[in-house]
Structure 1
Amino acid sequence: MKAFLSGIATAVLLTGASATAYAADDGVIRHKLPDSDFPISLAVEVPANRTQVHMSGQVPSVIHADAEANTVAAYGTMEEQATSVLQAIEKNLKSLNLTMADVYRMQVFLVAEDGKVDFSGFMKGYTKFFGTTEQPNLPVRSAVEVAALAVPGWLIEIEVSATRPQ
Structure 2
Amino acid sequence: MNGFERATREPVQRHDFDDGDHAQGPQSGDRLLSSGGVLPFLVGATVPAGRPLLLLSGHTPPVICRDAPADSIAAFGDTHAQTDGCLRELERSLRRLGLEMGDLVQLRVYVVGDPALGGRMDNEGFSRAYARWFGTPEQPHRVARTRVQVVGLVNPGWLVEIEAIAAA
TM-score per shorter chain, which class?
A: 0.7 to 0.9
**Which runs of 5 or more structure 2 residues have no equivalent in the other structure?**
1-8, 21-32
Q: Give the aligned residue type for 1:135.
A: Q
Residue-by-residue CA offset, 1:102-129 (whole Å, 9 max, x unaligned)? 0001000000022210011011111111
**Which runs of 5 or more structure 1 residues have no equivalent in the other structure?**
1-24
Q: 1:29 maps to which residue?
A: 13
Count of matched residue positions in the alignment of Structure 1 and Structure 2: 140
Q: 1:49 maps to which residue?
A: 50
Q: 1:104 maps to which residue?
A: 105
Residue-by-residue CA offset, 1:36-90 (whole Å, 9 max, x unaligned)? 3111001111110311000000101110111122100110011100000000000
DSSP 3-state at the match of 1:67: coil
More helix by share: 1
Q: 1:136 maps to which residue?
A: 140
Pairing 1:1-166 to 2, within 5 Å after superposition? 26-33=10-17, 34=20, 35-36=33-34, 37-113=38-114, 114-164=118-168
TM-score by length of 1: 0.81
Please give the alpha-carbon distance, in whole angstroms, between the structure 2 residues aligned to 1:26 and 1:81: 33
Please give the alpha-carbon distance, in whole angstroms, between the structure 1 residues aligned to 2:140 and 2:167: 16
Report percent identity of matched pairs: 38
DSSP 3-state at the match of 2:43: strand
Please give the alpha-carbon distance, in whole angstroms, between the structure 2 residues aligned to 1:110 and 1:89: 16
- Give the Å deviation of 1:145: 0.6
Please give the alpha-carbon distance, in whole angstroms, between the structure 1 residues aligned to 2:125 and 2:87: 13
C-alpha RMSD of the superposition: 1.2
Q: 2:27 maps to which residue?
A: none
Point out 4+ residue stretches in structure 1 off by more than 2 angstroms.
Answer: 32-36
Please give the alpha-carbon distance, in whole angstroms, between the structure 1 residues aligned to 2:57 and 2:83: 16
